[in-house]
Amino acid sequence: MEPRIMLSLYKTLARPHVEYCSCAWNPSYKKDKELLEKIQHRFTKMIINMREKTYEERLKLLGLWTLEERRNRQDIIEVFKMYRGHSSVALQELFEIDTNSKGTRRHSCKLKKVRCTRDIARYFFSNRVINRWNALDQSAVDAPSINAFKQILVKSGITGWASLWTSPLSPRPCWSTIGW
């Protein structure tokens, strides 16, 4: 079957099941992330002329991100929706705005990071997304719509955020050579 058709089938039939409600259940353990990633890994091998290539090469050729990168991107989009009032959950219900931020570095809506002593709290949505949100530029935070926010993320060409995108339990940094 043609790669374009296979990719379309994967994106419409398989990936939505893997990504459903990922902000709520995003795995923090390496073994769980690897199990989820195996789904996409296995699928990309089924495409003609892709079997011999490495996983990273297949992703690049097909224009895909790792599932972990997609989950992390969805997390930050969800925070933007809360910030703009497009979510049923208000930003103040899960986060505290840092009013004591020194200087004007990055943007004016920084979130306060709370200290967590247990893994269950450390990898909860409201804690795992703070570093990524605080690292955004003011132009991204001020985006007028969700689509504009996504476009700003793409245009900014943010790469090298592996330490912000992965948890300390990740096996390796996320592959992020094609941007968001």
**pLDDT tens by residue, 120-178:** 777 788 888 888 998 898 889 999 999 999 998 877 765 434 434 444 434 333 333 33
**Number of other CB atoms surrounding residue 108 within 10 Å:** 11
179 vs 7, more confident: 7
173 falls within a domain: no
Residue the block writes with tokens 């719509």: 145
25 falls within a domain: yes
17 token code pair: 């099941």
- CA separation, residue 155 to residues 37, 135, 148, 150 (Å): 26, 16, 10, 9
144 falls within a domain: yes
With H, G, I as helix, E, B as strand and everything else as coil, classify residue 111: strand
In the chain, the percentage of residues whose pLDDT exceeds 90 is 39
Residue-number span of the structural domain to which 63 is assigned: 3-165
170 falls within a domain: no
Eight-class DSSP state of 20: T
With H, G, I as helix, E, B as strand and everything else as coil, classify residue 91: helix
Phi/psi-derived region of residue 51, left when phi > 0, alpha when psi is between -120 and 50, beta in every other case: alpha
Question: Which CB contacts under 8 angstroms, 24+ apart, belong to 35-38?
Answer: 36/67, 36/68, 37/66, 37/67, 37/68
Q: Is the pLDDT of residue 179 over 60?
A: no
175 falls within a domain: no
155 token code pair: 């245009």
84 falls within a domain: yes
Residues 77, 150 contacting (CB under 8 angstroms)? yes
Count the domains in the chain.
1
Residues 106, 135 contacting (CB under 8 angstroms)? yes
Residue 23: per-residue pLDDT: 75
Using pLDDT thresholds of 50, 70 and 90, give the confidence band for residue 102. Answer: low
Q: Is the pLDDT of residue 94 over 70?
A: yes
100 falls within a domain: yes
37 falls within a domain: yes
pTM (2 d.p.)? 0.77
